[in-house]
């Protein structure tokens, strides 16, 4: 066929088709994969040492491989520690259940939560070391100093020795519970609040009430949140380390031994087969628990609405009667006061001079002043604060820069489904990996690179340790994007930037949650810095720990250091708490 126009002759020529027709495939551009590269590099900071540890656990002294190293588990001390670690995981699950029930109660009793918010957040914001120190103050066996002992003695004449043999478990669990319960309740409560009223009304009109309603409505709808909560708490339970170190008197630490501490005391250095085997056992326990616990993260149930549109007045939950409201706020106030009491004890102790705090309790009228703060400043507290600020900031920035593109890739990067599943599973496992699995090889590697003592190296390790959880969380947030947007995004790069703009607007809560939580976790960290860089580079917690070696006599100084160390995380979390909770509870999908 020939076209003639404007003195040009254009001839169209066809070509014969040869070969068989082949089915087309959707184009998967390789570009997005690059987004995952930084995360891969950062994760290898953990993955490679974990691999080294696993190999070391199975390598026998003569170079062959086998289960010989696991004979360490027959060692009664190690067995005892494993038992204690498992008990801690059980405590974590118990707290999840308890928190859920409390959230239900507060949901059915409106107006409770107005006072509760700060009371629940503060314990979560302070470090484990601080809450351990606080509870040791409260349960001090001397009636002049220990709050509980004083009250008990007043009521019954004599008091048990709370920190004594067997009894210290009560104090340990109380401190752990005080730290975490607020977080659990807040998250479940946010989830319950987000259940659309029309759904619950429909259920109600069909006559589904009580336990059955719980089973068919609330439990399935809250599954993603249950996943997040369980994951966080299991990680916390496995990381129990500093709590025991600071709270349990030296003579009883043997009884309170957990796997982490046993590992540290027996390792005191390189990767021997025995300690590697201990680490692997710990890891196996946790990974099993973690994977079961986060199954909620991997099922698409529903996405929680990001912004709850105020519904018609007529379809909202009925406003409770005035009497209910009054009862609710009274109960709420009482609970809040009780819950905040440890913080009050800590601050009041810090405001006494070291001598007064060592002699009498926080309620005594003698010896008020700032002497304890001065004493704390004399052991290098300010320099410690500065280091800690630096490490936390670097870790948070690095984490955000790497986690956001990775989460985007996992959520919409067009990964083949199987790969998405693999990546998610790897991150779940990494999220619960105990520090003991990568500490020793990593420490050696950092030392060999001449970076020993570098705060930047430590910050990178922190970022790597925080990455799995951050990616899982952000992925949930990104994945709950309106499908229309996703479809548009897959049409080309121009669209993708528009989508990202929307994402920034819509998913800021999740980003804020990741940033704030990472900053606070690193700020409060003891174990990662302690095991990776050795003592000295987690200065803030180390100052606290060093002060607490002779506990009661330095109660004032310890309390002052604890108060100073807690200001930044408490202020941060109180300011951003609502956003953090929203970010943590944004929808979820595989």
Partner 1 sequence: MIGRRLFLGAVGAAALSGCAPDVLGLRRSVRVAVSWSGAELREFHRVLDGLGDLEFPVEVIPLGDDIPTAFGPRSTRRPDVVMLPRPGLVPQQLENLQPVPAELADRGRTRLWDELLVQEGETYGVPFKTAHKSAIWYRPSVFKQVGVEPPKVWSDWLQVNRQLSLAGIRPLALAAGDGWVLTDFLENVLLGSAPSAYRSLASSAEPRPSQEPAFAAALRLLGTLWAAPGTLAGGVDRSLVQQFPDAIVEVFGHRRAAMVLASDFAEPVVRSFAADPDDIGLFTFPSMTRGTAAPVVVGGDVMVLPRPASEDAQKLVRRLAVPAAADPWIATGGFLADGRTTGYSPELTRLAEQLVAPGRSLQFDLSDRLYQLDDGLQRVLNDFLVRVGDQGTEVVREAVDVALTELAKVES
Binding to partner 1 (CB under 8 A): which residues in 252-271?
A: 252, 254, 264-265, 267-270
Rank residues 100 and 438 by Cβ distance to partner 1 and give the closer one. Answer: 438
In the complex, the smallest distance separating the C-beta of residue 527 from partner 1, rounded to whole angstroms, is 14
Write out the two tokens for 432.
């619960």
**Which residues, numbered 196-255, are part of the site for partner 1 (CB under 8 A)?**
249-252, 254
Write out the two tokens for 373.
């703060």
**What character string, x for contact with partner 1 (CB under 8 A) and - otherwise, covers 267-306?**
xxxx------------------------------------
570 lies in the binding site for partner 1 (CB under 8 A): no
Nearest to 433 by CA among 266, 241, 279: 279
378 lies in the binding site for partner 1 (CB under 8 A): yes
Rank residues 87 and 389 by Cβ distance to partner 1 and give the closer one. Answer: 389
Binding residue (CB under 8 A) for partner 1 from 128, 375, 428, 584: 375
| Per-residue b or e along 33-53, where b marks 16 or more CB atoms closer than 10 Å to that residue's CB | eebbebbeebbebbbebbebb
Q: Find the part of the chain contacting partner 1 (CB under 8 A) among 127-135, 224-232, 408-416, 438-446.
A: 438-446
Rank residues 424 and 566 by Cβ distance to partner 1 and give the closer one. Answer: 566
Rank residues 144 and 197 by Cβ distance to partner 1 and give the closer one. Answer: 144
516 lies in the binding site for partner 1 (CB under 8 A): yes
In the complex, the smallest distance separating the C-beta of residue 393 from partner 1, rounded to whole angstroms, is 4
Q: Return d(Cα 102, Cα 291) in angstroms, integer.
A: 25
Binding residue (CB under 8 A) for partner 1 from 387, 424, 541, 585: 387
Residue with tokens 């952000």: 474
Write out the two tokens for 106.
């507060």
**Which residues, numbered 447-506, are part of the site for partner 1 (CB under 8 A)?**
447-448, 452-456, 458
Q: Find the part of the chain contacting partner 1 (CB under 8 A) among 16-24, 39-47, 216-224, 392-400.
A: 392-400
Write out the two tokens for 116.
């509760």
Q: Return d(Cα 587, Cα 589) in angstroms, integer.
A: 7
**Which residues, numbered 125-164, are part of the site for partner 1 (CB under 8 A)?**
141-142, 144, 160-161, 163-164
In the complex, the smallest distance separating the C-beta of residue 347 from partner 1, rounded to whole angstroms, is 20
DSSP secondary structure letters along 285-351? HHHHHHHHHGGGGGS---PPPSS-PPPPGGGSPPPPPHHHHHHHHHHHHHHHHHHHHHHHHHHHHHT
Contact 138, 147 (CB under 8 A): yes
In the complex, the smallest distance separating the C-beta of residue 443 from partner 1, rounded to whole angstroms, is 6
68 lies in the binding site for partner 1 (CB under 8 A): no
**Which residues, numbered 396-415, are part of the site for partner 1 (CB under 8 A)?**
396-397, 400
Q: Return d(Cα 306, Cα 479) in angstroms, integer.
A: 12
In the complex, the smallest distance separating the C-beta of residue 450 from partner 1, rounded to whole angstroms, is 9
Contact 49, 441 (CB under 8 A): yes
In the complex, the smallest distance separating the C-beta of residue 513 from partner 1, rounded to whole angstroms, is 10
Binding residue (CB under 8 A) for partner 1 from 477, 547, 563, 584: 547
Binding residue (CB under 8 A) for partner 1 from 124, 412, 551, 577: 551
369 lies in the binding site for partner 1 (CB under 8 A): no
576 lies in the binding site for partner 1 (CB under 8 A): yes
Q: Find the part of the chain contacting partner 1 (CB under 8 A) among 11-19, 210-218, 229-237, 530-538.
A: 530-538
546 lies in the binding site for partner 1 (CB under 8 A): yes
Rank residues 22 and 448 by Cβ distance to partner 1 and give the closer one. Answer: 448
Contact 470, 403 (CB under 8 A): yes
Binding residue (CB under 8 A) for partner 1 from 444, 490, 500, 502: 444
545 lies in the binding site for partner 1 (CB under 8 A): yes
359 lies in the binding site for partner 1 (CB under 8 A): yes
Residues touching partner 1: how many (CB under 8 A)? 72
Burial class (CB in 10 A: 0-12, 13-18, 19+), 323: exposed
Burial class (CB in 10 A: 0-12, 13-18, 19+), 445: middle
3-state helix, strand, coil in the chain (%, to 5): 75, 0, 25
Contact 283, 569 (CB under 8 A): no
88 lies in the binding site for partner 1 (CB under 8 A): no
In the complex, the smallest distance separating the C-beta of residue 95 from partner 1, rounded to whole angstroms, is 26
Task: Count how many Cα atoms sit within 13 Å of the Cα of residue 177 in the half-sphere of its side chain.
Answer: 16
Give the three-class secondary structure for 352.
strand
Rank residues 230 and 392 by Cβ distance to partner 1 and give the closer one. Answer: 392
373 lies in the binding site for partner 1 (CB under 8 A): no
Rank residues 86 and 445 by Cβ distance to partner 1 and give the closer one. Answer: 445
Distance of CA 399 to the CA centre of its chain: 14
Residue with tokens 């996703």: 486
Contact 439, 278 (CB under 8 A): no
CA distances to 213, 283, 574 from 174, in Å: 31, 25, 22
Rank residues 532 and 563 by Cβ distance to partner 1 and give the closer one. Answer: 532
Burial class (CB in 10 A: 0-12, 13-18, 19+), 320: middle
């Amino acid at each position: 066929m020939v076209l003639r126009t404007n003195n040009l002759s254009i001839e169209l020529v066809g070509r014969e088709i040869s070969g068989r027709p082949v089915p087309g495939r959707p184009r998967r551009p390789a570009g997005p994969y690059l987004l995952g590269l930084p995360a891969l590099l950062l994760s290898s900071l953990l993955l490679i040492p974990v691999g080294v540890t696993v190999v070391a656990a199975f390598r026998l002294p003569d170079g062959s491989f086998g289960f010989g190293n696991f004979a360490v588990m027959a060692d009664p001390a190690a067995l005892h520690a494993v038992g204690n670690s498992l008990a801690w995981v059980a405590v974590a699950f118990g707290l999840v259940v308890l928190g859920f029930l409390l959230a239900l109660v507060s949901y059915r009793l409106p107006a409770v939560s107005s006072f509760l918010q700060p009371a629940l957040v503060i314990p979560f914001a302070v470090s484990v070391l601080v809450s351990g120190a606080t509870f040791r103050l409260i349960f001090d066996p001397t009636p002049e100093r220990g709050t509980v002992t004083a009250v008990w003695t007043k009521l019954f004449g004599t008091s048990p020795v709370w920190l004594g043999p067997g009894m210290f478990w009560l104090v340990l669990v109380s401190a752990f519970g005080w730290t975490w319960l607020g977080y659990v309740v807040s998250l479940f409560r946010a989830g319950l609040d987000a259940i659309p009223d029309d759904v619950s009304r429909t259920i109600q009109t069909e006559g589904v009430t009580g336990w059955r309603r719980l089973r068919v409505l609330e439990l399935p709808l809250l599954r993603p949140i249950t996943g997040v909560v369980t994951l966080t708490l299991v990680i916390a339970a496995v990381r129990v380390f500093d709590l025991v170190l600071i709270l349990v008197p030296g003579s009883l630490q043997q009884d309170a031994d957990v796997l982490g501490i046993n590992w540290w005391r027996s390792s005191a250095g390189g990767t021997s087969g025995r300690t590697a085997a201990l680490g692997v056992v710990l890891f196996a326990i946790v990974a099993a628990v973690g994977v079961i616990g986060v199954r909620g993260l991997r099922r698409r149930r529903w996405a929680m609405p990001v912004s709850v549109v105020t519904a018609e007045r007529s379809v909202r939950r009925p406003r409770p009667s005035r009497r209910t409201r009054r009862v609710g706020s009274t109960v709420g106030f009482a609970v809040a006061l009780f819950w905040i009491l440890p913080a009050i004890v800590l601050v009041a102790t810090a405001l006494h001079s070291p001598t007064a705090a060592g002699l009498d309790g926080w309620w005594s009228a003698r010896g008020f002043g700032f002497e304890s703060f001065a004493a704390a400043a004399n052991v290098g507290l300010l320099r410690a604060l500065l280091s800690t600020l630096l490490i936390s900031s670097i870790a948070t920035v690095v984490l955000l820069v790497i986690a956001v593109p990775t989460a985007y890739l996992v959520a919409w990067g067009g990964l083949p489904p199987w790969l998405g599943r693999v990546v998610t599973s790897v991150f779940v496992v990494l999220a619960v990996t105990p520090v003991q699995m990568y500490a020793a090889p990593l420490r050696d590697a950092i030392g060999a690179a001449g970076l020993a003592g570098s705060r930047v190296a430590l910050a990178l390790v922190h970022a790597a340790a925080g990455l799995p959880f951050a990616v899982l969380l952000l992925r949930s947030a990104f994945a709950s994007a309106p499908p229309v947007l996703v479809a548009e995004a897959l049409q080309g790069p121009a669209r993708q930037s528009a989508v990202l703009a929307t994402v920034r607007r819509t998913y800021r809560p999740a980003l804020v949650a990741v940033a704030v939580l990472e900053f606070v976790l690193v700020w409060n960290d003891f174990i990662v810095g302690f095991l990776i860089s050795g003592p000295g580079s987690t200065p803030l917690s180390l100052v606290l720990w060093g002060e607490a070696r002779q506990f009661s006599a330095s109660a004032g100084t310890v309390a002052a250091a604890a108060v100073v160390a807690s200001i930044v995380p408490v202020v941060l979390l109180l300011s951003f708490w609502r956003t953090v909770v929203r970010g943590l509870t944004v929808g979820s999908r595989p």
